[in-house]
């Protein structure tokens, strides 16, 4: 698999696969986000997911993929710091604000910052049509947040700090996207980066703090549902994060980041089809705006 991935870098096939991987990551990211704002506390959910994917990646990192080159250890260390910061900011934001409001803000600001970062650090260039598409997509995503804010009744007192936290989290999304794209390009085998990243990020992730919070609060969640959430989240994380990282190696970092943020559309569709939530004409219009922006970014390239 790694030989084939390397062979299509910079080709039309590679660009097409990058598009598919980015859209798949968007769909899976919508599922992943919902797992962290549901039955369990966001810190607990994130902790069990981290622990599960760290343990699952362990044998692959140690015994399957080639070992990282010496220069990769600094990259992994920086990636760990960035991801811990991101996950902390995200969990804090989810505890302060309604998920349907803060999630679109995180996903809406992320691609804007990511494209700027890709322009600065990877010397990527984007045409006028792509910038218009990016502005359209971001406006549609933030429109989702504004629409949901007008209809939410919970967390009103802490909504201001939550929105500020969401913008900061979006900045961290762009930072980890840019840095991890640099990391996966810095090693000969992309699966070496993915396996070692998941092992380090998972085993040295949020689970000790999550366990500490449960101990202090006296909460004793049922192990079986919590473990099921952790395993499901780990599998989704492998496919979602792994897919978007491979996409950034095969094609432009900024384009992959923008396509991933169509996750807001998938989240709304999941709510409609699975949870039987109403969409209404306004949300349909916002979904069309987001999808249209993504199409402009892709076609403009």
Q: Is the pLDDT of residue 112 over 90?
A: no
pLDDT in tens, 180-199: 999 999 999 999 999 999 99
In the chain, % of residues over pLDDT 90:
27
Q: How confident is the model at residue 270 (pLDDT cuts 50, 70, 90)?
A: low
Asked whether residue 76 carries a pLDDT value surpassing 70, the answer given is: yes
Report pLDDT digits (tens) over 16-65: 898 899 889 888 877 776 665 555 666 787 888 899 999 999 999 999 99
pLDDT of residue 212: 84
Question: In which band, very low, low, confident or very high, does the pLDDT at 281 lie, cut at 50, 70 and 90?
Answer: confident
- Tens of pLDDT along 247-266? 999 988 888 888 887 777 77
Which pLDDT belongs to residue 277? 59
Task: Average the pLDDT over 128-144 and give the result.
Answer: 85
The residue ranking higher by pLDDT, 297 or 168, is 168
Domain locations in the chain as residue ranges: 2-300
Residue 140 pLDDT > 90, yes or no?
no
Instruction: Give the residue carrying structure tokens 């069990």.
Output: 48
Give pTM, 2 decimals.
0.84
3-state helix, strand, coil in the chain (%, to 5): 80, 0, 20
Question: Exposed (0-12), middle (13-18) or buried (19+): which is 155, by Cβ within 10 Å?
Answer: middle
Report the C-alpha gap between 80 and 93 in whole angstroms. 20
CA distance 146 to 100: 10
């Amino acid at each position: 698999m790694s030989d084939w991935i390397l062979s299509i870098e910079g080709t039309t096939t590679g660009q097409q696969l990058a598009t598919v991987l980015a859209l798949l990551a968007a769909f899976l990211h919508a599922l992943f986000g919902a797992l962290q704002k549901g039955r369990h506390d966001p810190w607990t959910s994130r902790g069990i997911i981290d622990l599960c994917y760290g343990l699952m990646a362990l044998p692959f990192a140690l015994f399957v993929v080639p070992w990282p080159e010496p220069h990769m250890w600094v990259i992994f260390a920086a990636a760990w710091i960035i991801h811990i910061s991101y996950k902390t900011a995200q969990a804090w934001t989810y505890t302060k604000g309604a998920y349907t409001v803060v999630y679109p803000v995180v996903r809406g600001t992320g691609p804007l910052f990511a494209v700027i970062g890709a322009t600065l650090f990877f010397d990527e260039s984007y045409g006028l049509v792509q910038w218009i598409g990016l502005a359209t997509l971001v406006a549609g995503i933030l429109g989702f947040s504004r629409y949901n804010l007008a209809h939410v009744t919970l967390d009103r007192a802490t909504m201001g700090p939550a929105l500020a936290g969401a913008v900061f989290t979006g900045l961290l999304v762009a930072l980890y996207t840019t840095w991890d794209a640099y990391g996966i390009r810095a090693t000969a085998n992309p699966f070496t980066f993915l396996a070692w990243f998941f092992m380090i990020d998972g085993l040295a992730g949020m689970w000790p703090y999550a366990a500490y919070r449960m101990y202090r609060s006296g909460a004793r969640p049922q192990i079986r549902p919590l473990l099921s959430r952790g395993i499901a989240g780990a599998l989704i994380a492998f496919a979602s994060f792994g897919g978007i990282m491979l996409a950034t190696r095969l094609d432009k970092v900024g384009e992959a980041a923008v396509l991933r943020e169509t996750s807001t559309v998938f989240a709304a569709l999941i709510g409609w089809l699975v949870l039987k939530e109403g969409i209404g004409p306004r949300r349909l219009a916002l979904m069309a705006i987001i999808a249209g922006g993504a199409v402009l970014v892709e076609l403009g390239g």
